Amino acid sequence: MKQYGKYLFLLPGLLVLTLFMIIPIAGTILSTFFDAGSFTLAGYMQYLQDPYFLNILWVTLRTSLLTTLICILLAFPAAYYISKCRPRMKMILLLLSIFPLLTSPVVRSFSWMVILGKGGIIDNTMALFGSDTSISILYTPTAILIGLVHLFLPLSIITLVGVMENIGDDVVEAAKSLGASASTTFWHILLPLSVPGLMTGSILVFVGSFTAYTTPALLGGRESVISTFLYQNAVTLNDWQLASVVATIMIVLSFVVIGIMNWLAGKVAVRGGNIRG
């Protein structure tokens, strides 16, 4: 009986999640399949056959995947360096990494508007070097990408540091002593052992980027992503039925991409495990 008693501590959390997350999400998804009491897929057909919506979906998916890839590429070397630092320096670097999370996304987005906009810091810097062309990255997919990378890079670093600090130096030294080159050590030792951190960080960054609203709304302007399109349907047009369809598509696509990421992570881990064996 004592063995099952510890599971009672899960009940309050499970109850809250069920009441305030699972039931509302399930109700939202089910409502998209019924119109006037009859089963229908008209809402999905309307969006999946609309080139405008498909373009928004593609831009959002591409931006989210690029954000995830860039965050991984930037976070991996930074996290490895931080994980090998002395405790005091590691704490300082982690605090510097976490610091952007303490600032509101609205404030960060407005700061990027000053930097990327026409007459902004980049534009004025180019003028100092004699450029006659006005450069304005603001209100483009590139601006959204920059803002999202700035927003979610700390999450990638934190999750990778937690995994990499458990990779012993003796493992790397053993690989080198057996004649493994730096690239071989990376591909067959460091990368497979870092898969749990890469997986967690990638999921956090992708889902956050795919569903982000504030940063795309401020830095994208008229460049719509699926979150701003959802807001437009729900609040501006007051069409909650179609907004629910968009939300369901977002949920399904998120799970599909996460499943693909898990599959790829398993391939990398198995490859590394076979070579180590």
pLDDT of 81 strictly over 80:
yes
Q: Percentage of the chain surpassing pLDDT 70?
A: 92
Neighbour tally for 238: CB within 10 Å: 8
Would you state the pLDDT for residue 71?
A: 94
* 249: CATH: 1.10.3720.10
Kindly state whether residue 238 falls inside one of the protein's structural domains.
yes
Would you state the pLDDT for residue 63?
A: 93
pTM above 0.75, yes or no: yes
Would you state the pLDDT for residue 2?
A: 61
pLDDT band at 32 (very low <50, low <70, confident <90, very high): confident
Kindly state whether residue 236 falls inside one of the protein's structural domains.
yes
Kindly state whether residue 127 falls inside one of the protein's structural domains.
yes
Task: Give the domain range for residue 242.
Answer: 50-276
pLDDT of 84 strictly over 80:
yes
Kindly state whether residue 45 falls inside one of the protein's structural domains.
no
Distance between CA 120 and CA 110 in Å, rounded?
12
Return the higher-pLDDT residue of 36 and 257. Answer: 257
Kindly state whether residue 14 falls inside one of the protein's structural domains.
no
pLDDT of 149 strictly over 90:
yes
Distance between CA 254 and CA 257 in Å, rounded?
5
Phi, psi of 34 (to 5 degrees): -130, 135
pLDDT of 185 strictly over 90:
no
pLDDT of 46 strictly over 80:
yes
Return the higher-pLDDT residue of 217 and 187. Answer: 217
The mean pLDDT of the chain is: 84
Would you state the pLDDT for residue 136?
A: 72
Mean pLDDT across the stretch 119-147?
A: 76
Kindly state whether residue 121 falls inside one of the protein's structural domains.
yes
Q: How many domains would you assign to the chain?
A: 1
Which residues are 35's β-sheet partners?
38
Would you state the pLDDT for residue 61?
A: 92
Among 152-166, 176-190, 252-266, whose mean pLDDT is lowest?
A: 176-190
Kindly state whether residue 39 falls inside one of the protein's structural domains.
no
Kindly state whether residue 30 falls inside one of the protein's structural domains.
no
pLDDT of 115 strictly over 90:
no
- Which of 257, 245, 193 shows the shortest CA–CA distance to 53? 245
